[in-house]
Amino acid sequence: MSEKFQAVVIGGGPGGYVCAIRLAQLGFKTACIESRGSLGGTCLNVGCIPSKSLLNLSEEFHKVKNLSNKGIEVGEVKLNLSKMMKSKDKAVTVLTKGVEFLLKKNNVSYFKGHGSFKSKNEIIIKGEDNKETSINADNVVIATGSVPVSLPGINFDEKIILSSTGALKIEQVPKKMVVVGGGYIGLEMGSVWSRLGSEVHVVEFLEHITPGMDREISLEFMKILKKQGIKFHMQHKVEKIQKNTDGAIVTTTDKEGNKKDFDCDVVLISVGRKPNTEGLNIQAAGIELDEKQRVKTDKNFKTNQENIYAIGDVIVGPMLAHKAEDEGIAVAENIAGQSGHVNYDTIPGVVYTTPEVAAIGKTEEQLKEMNLDYKIGKFSFMANSRAKAIDDAEGFVKILADAKTDKVLGAHLIGPHAGELIAEIGIAMEFGASSEDIARTCHAHPTFSEAVKEAALSVDKRAIHS
């Protein structure tokens, strides 16, 4: 007889494992199925965590090499890439094991294997040894995430033609790397390899990088990355990628139709990700997908089947770990009859380059499109004492507020610790704060957060330090 669970979560990524823990906290007998052999999903295994680890390590390498400019003389600085990769791998192992401990602590049954529907209430788990186990579920949450997409006709070999997964484990610093796509993953990975010594060329189809980002920030971002040595080729379309003995040739055309070849050691294709429903046998449960092959849900994350839900990258919305986590909690609470919900207007997005870029709420372009009257407050880190004291003063804070009510509608930051500073604005927005509320809040001196306060003051044209 199949073991029976009140809730089964398919996928152990940030959406799935968080959902499973919350379900167990709410008293459900819960199982979580994960096929990759370790928990934490894309995020912990081949996404957020290894990329942030490498961003940090490469930044440290870059900083130490340049310390003499600041009066600190060090000897010859050498890169030991394999040790650096081991350090990154250790961070991943510690965290994925940590999630396994959390599942155990919360009495969630962890099934290692590939889950697929036999029916609406029956899941088959195929383990590493190909042994099949069947479990029964009152409720099922699909949290199977996403996978990288390539260009038509081009396959990842993860040696020369890389997805983000391959770009996290290159064994030798490539002399030349082409990054196809100027989104956040391509720019983060491009930054890593540029700091470690690669000549990095970003080829982007659009005229600007990081689509969806406030345009003013995106322009400043590109300017700073260019200064760091990354080369940009905007409005270039990749026509083909041909591998040769020691790398590849990427052929592009620009908007005038001129052809250009990029000879390189490796190509990172970072043109997006697609929802992952492969092998789930969703037909057996009669689950509908939308036009982009995402699992279709209502606002309570319920599919067209009464007892089946979906969250995270596999459904509509930004592909971000914290969005998946919040949906995991909300759906668990909904299954328990509570009113779980996610406020999609206050989901921050962060790019972990140097400087960091962070955004929340509406961009200026969106407000224009909505015909909403808004005010702008801006403050440069050049006038922030902490940033100047440590010689890290690139970028600025931009706050957008409603022209009539002064309610904060969005904030966009580029600068030191932007990814941490954005949390203050998230809280402010959740509480429906005005820019004046932020401006009248005492901020410690000297901190980077004073730049947020000054930007808020500047909404009312009364910044003190500029």
Task: Give me the residues that bind ligand FAD (CB under 6 A), please.
Answer: 10-16, 33-36, 41-43, 47-48, 51, 114-116, 143-146, 164, 185, 276, 279-280, 312-313, 319-322, 324, 352
Q: Is 465 a catalytic residue?
A: no
* Shortest reach from residue 32's CB to ligand FAD, in Å: 9
Structure tokens at 273: 């990700």
Considering 201, 341, 417, 445, which one is annotated as catalytic? 445
- Calpha distance 295→274 (Å, rounded): 11
Q: Which is nearer to ligand FAD, 48 or 439 (CB)?
A: 48
215-227 and 184-195 helices, crossing angle to 10°: 20
* Shortest reach from residue 353's CB to ligand FAD, in Å: 11
Please give the C-alpha separations between residue 429 and each of 345, 359, 413, 424, 439, in angstroms, as whole numbers: 9, 12, 15, 9, 14
Q: Which is nearer to ligand FAD, 85 or 320 (CB)?
A: 320
Instruction: Give the DSSP per-residue string, 96-126.
Output: HHHHHHHHHHTTPEEEESEEEESSSSEEEEE
* Shortest reach from residue 146's CB to ligand FAD, in Å: 5
* Shortest reach from residue 143's CB to ligand FAD, in Å: 5
Scored b (16 or more CB within 10 A) or e, 135-168 reads bbbebbbbbbbbebeebeebebeeebbbbbbbbb
Please give the backbone phi and psi of residue 303, each rounded to the nearest 5 degrees, phi first: -80, -170
* Shortest reach from residue 276's CB to ligand FAD, in Å: 5
Q: Which is nearer to ligand FAD, 312 or 377 (CB)?
A: 312
Q: Which is nearer to ligand FAD, 319 or 411 (CB)?
A: 319
Q: Which is nearer to ligand FAD, 52 or 407 (CB)?
A: 52
- Calpha distance 266→192 (Å, rounded): 14
Closest CA to 382 of 392, 371, 373, 374: 392
- Calpha distance 68→71 (Å, rounded): 5
Residues paired with residue 263 on neighbouring β-strands, in sequence order: 249
Residues tagged active-site:
445
